[in-house]
Amino acid sequence: MAGLDPENWDALRALGHRMLDEMLDNVQNVASGPVWQPMPDTVRQGFRDAELPTQETSLTALYDQFSHSVTPYATGNRHPRFMGWVHGGGTPQGMLAELLAAGLNANLGGRDHAPIEVERMVVRWAATMLGFPETATGVLVTGSSMANFIAMITASRAVDGGLEMRSAGLAGRKLVGYAAQTAHGCIARAFDMAGLGTQALRRVPVDADFRMDMAALRQMVAADRAAGLEPFVVVGTAGTVDTGSIDPLTALADFAEAENLWFHVDGAFGAMARLSPHYAPALAGMERANSIAFDFHKWAQTPYDAGCVLVREPGRQAAAFAQSLAYLSREDRGLAAGAPWFCDLGPDLSRGFRALKVWFTLASFGTERLGGVVSQCCAVAQHLATRVQATPCLELLAPVTLNIVCFRVIAPDTDEDTLNGELVKDLQESGVAAPSTTIVHGKRAIRAAIVNHRTVEADADLMLDTLLDLAEKRLGHTLERQTA
Ligand SMILES: *Cc1c(COP(=O)(O)O)cnc(C)c1O
């Protein structure tokens, strides 16, 4: 029997249908189980001891292992009370699209085939969604880390039209960029990976609302220019990861224009707020950016992974990334036609069919319903913030701009940083809810990011009530829960 196809297609088909049914059941009932549970040592050890298989294992046995050792111990981000970091909840529609995409096994580096047109379509839709011209270029990537990286490379190559720097490197040029202190760590990482060095990323102080201080930015750019450095980019964040704050995007667009800087927006999750009529005005100015990085896998609920970078001016992205290797040469017709290819717009040559799940997600729900999810998440966050403020033993640590609530339990005479850190672990291990932590104004905060389309106010209530129970247990006394 040649090749790897199954000997018994009927048996494989039956098992495949069972897998599909059981996973759909699992998604449908996700809220009835724990958010997360620690993986037992025996299960973990099973993976650590497993040796490279040299012989066949039946798919039935593998699926059994998956069902017992993987499914129950996943991150939990599909669950309505997962509130940690910024994770999307996924949808069964997106899951089915992944199944179809894997069946086609398409490679979207390039060439002339329908999957490429699907990606072109969703990139064009993304541009429309975010207020960019339809002529903007873009590419789907793993996530905003990669999208921000591609944008920083594109911005730096735009300084001299790309060509010289691509062959000669920086050659002594001292390019510097700017991002608020609250910018995501992947921006500094992009500077690192691009060879610019993290010191070339100037960290601009923020105001009391965690937004970039424009006066400070002005001074820093002027001082750098005076010192002979070459400012090239300013990064604004639409929805910071710690508190959900939004940098003054219109002021940044004006400033970048006046100073001839590339204006990039990291809108990893926040860019999606543009789909909510109520929250869209808060993002005004974002549509003037030279480039945007954002994720479909966070607030847009597409299954992991699906990030996207958009570049306003046609040609800029290709100027930064396109290569002309003979064996990749483009033809006028046949399968090697259809340039430019997606491999011209980023570092990846072989690429999967992420575009299908993005298409199915955007089209299954439409942007109005997805915008409704954004509004709903923000409403849950507002509800949670209101409850925090009405509870004497709790303290709200940052304004709630979008969907992130930073707060903590006040317990005088205890180490509050340790207490709050331990409480988050208690809560995660309880299986009831999973917020995460961050540092706000030097204080350890409990951070609830409402990103999941399944989360409702009752979930925020249960998270908070359980947290207070756990705090009382840990402290050994009752807490003042209601204002009189
Ligand atoms: C999540 C996030 C990133 C990183 O995106 P990934 O998709 O995880 O790579 C960057 N910036 C912000 C503001 C984020 O929230």
Structural domains of the chain sorted by starting position, each given as residue range(s) with its CATH number in brackets: 99-365 (3.40.640.10)
Ligand 1 pocket: which of 140, 149, 184 to mutate (most atoms <8 Å of CB)? 184
Which residues are CB-contacts of 363 (< 8 A; sequence separation ≥ 6)?
none
Nearest one of 289, 243, 240, 248 to 269, comparing CA atoms: 240
- CA-nearest residue, atom 7 of ligand 1: 143
Counting atoms of ligand 1 from 1, which one is nearest the CA of 297?
7
Q: What burial class does residue 254 get, using C-beta atoms within 10 Å of its C-beta: 0-12 exposed, 13-18 middle, 19+ buried?
A: middle
Reply yes or no on whether the pLDDT at 172 is more than 70: yes
Q: Give residue 1's pLDDT.
A: 63
**Predicted confidence (pLDDT) per residue in 117-153, tens digit:** 999 999 999 999 999 999 999 999 999 999 999 999 9
Give the separation between CA 14 and CA 400, rounded to whole angstroms. Answer: 49
Counting atoms of ligand 1 from 1, which one is nearest the CA of 147?
9
**Distance, CA 136 to ligand 1 centroid (Å)?**
22
Which residues are CB-contacts of 200 (< 8 A; sequence separation ≥ 6)?
174, 175, 176, 177, 191
Q: Give residue 162's pLDDT.
A: 61
Q: Rounded mean pLDDT of the chain?
A: 96
Q: Give residue 332's pLDDT.
A: 84
**Distance, CA 184 to ligand 1 centroid (Å)?**
7
Enclosing H/E stretch for 113:
none
Q: Which 3 state secondary structure label does DSSP give 396?
A: strand
Mean pLDDT value across residues 35-45: 98
Give the separation between CA 83 and CA 424, rounded to whole angstroms. Answer: 11
Q: Give residue 337's pLDDT.
A: 85
In this structure, are residues 380 and 372 in contact, taking their beta carbons and an 8 Å threshold? no
Mean pLDDT value across residues 84-92: 97
Distances (CA, A) of 96 to 99, 283, 317, 351: 5, 32, 32, 19
Reply yes or no on whether the pLDDT at 473 is more than 60: yes
Question: What's the pLDDT band for 163 if we cut at 50, 70, 90?
Answer: low
Q: Give residue 439's pLDDT.
A: 96
Q: Give residue 325's pLDDT.
A: 58
Give the separation between CA 283 and CA 247, rounded to whole angstroms. Answer: 9
Reply yes or no on whether the pLDDT at 484 is more than 60: no
User: Is the CA virtual torsion 261, 310, 281, 389 positive or negative?
Assistant: negative
Which residues are CB-contacts of 328 (< 8 A; sequence separation ≥ 6)?
110, 343
Comparing 168 with 245, the larger pLDDT belongs to: 245
**Predicted confidence (pLDDT) per residue in 360-379, tens digit:** 999 999 999 999 999 999 99
Question: What's the pLDDT band for 323 if we cut at 50, 70, 90?
Answer: confident
Structure-token pair, residue 328: 């990749």
Q: In the block, which residue shows the tokens 């129970």? A: 469
Q: Give residue 2's pLDDT.
A: 82
Q: Give residue 161's pLDDT.
A: 67
| DSSP state, residue 464 | H
Counting atoms of ligand 1 from 1, which one is nearest the CA of 144?
5
> Which pTM was predicted?
0.97
The two counts, helices (H) then strands (E), for the chain are: 14, 11
Q: Which 3 state secondary structure label does DSSP give 438?
A: strand
The count of C-alpha atoms lying within 13 angstroms of the C-alpha of 460, restricted to the half-sphere facing its C-beta, is 26
Distances (CA, A) of 182 to 111, 222, 239, 406: 40, 21, 10, 14
Angle at 209 between CA 206 and CA 214, to 5 degrees: 40
Ligand 1 contacts CB of residue 241 (under 6 A):
yes
In this structure, are residues 248 and 212 in contact, taking their beta carbons and an 8 Å threshold? yes
In this structure, are residues 299 and 269 in contact, taking their beta carbons and an 8 Å threshold? yes
Give the separation between CA 173 and CA 70, rounded to whole angstroms. Answer: 49
Q: Give residue 330's pLDDT.
A: 78
**Distance, CA 49 to ligand 1 centroid (Å)?**
33
The beta strands (E) that lie in 126-285 are given as 137-141, 175-180, 201-204, 230-237, 262-266
**Predicted confidence (pLDDT) per residue in 226-236, tens digit:** 999 999 999 99
Reply yes or no on whether the pLDDT at 424 is more than 60: yes
Ligand 1 contacts CB of residue 237 (under 6 A):
yes
Distances (CA, A) of 73 to 138, 298, 392: 35, 20, 36
Reply yes or no on whether the pLDDT at 351 is more than 60: yes
Enclosing H/E stretch for 45:
helix 41-49
Reply yes or no on whether the pLDDT at 333 is more than 90: no
Ligand 1 pocket: which of 246, 286, 295 to mutate (most atoms <8 Å of CB)? 295
Ligand 1 contacts CB of residue 184 (under 6 A):
yes
Give the separation between CA 461 and CA 294, rounded to whole angstroms. Answer: 30
| DSSP state, residue 303 | P
- CA-nearest residue, atom 14 of ligand 1: 268
Neighbours of 135 (CB within 10 A): 11
Q: Give residue 327's pLDDT.
A: 58
In this structure, are residues 80 and 456 in contact, taking their beta carbons and an 8 Å threshold? yes
- CA-nearest residue, atom 1 of ligand 1: 268
Which residues are CB-contacts of 64 (< 8 A; sequence separation ≥ 6)?
none
Structure-token pair, residue 77: 């981000």
Question: What's the pLDDT band for 171 if we cut at 50, 70, 90?
Answer: confident
Counting atoms of ligand 1 from 1, which one is nearest the CA of 269?
15
Comparing 182 with 484, the larger pLDDT belongs to: 182
Give the separation between CA 91 and CA 221, rounded to whole angstroms. Answer: 44
Q: Give residue 186's pLDDT.
A: 98
Q: Are strands 137-141 and 307-311 parallel, antiparallel or unpaired?
A: antiparallel
In this structure, are residues 444 and 415 in contact, taking their beta carbons and an 8 Å threshold? no
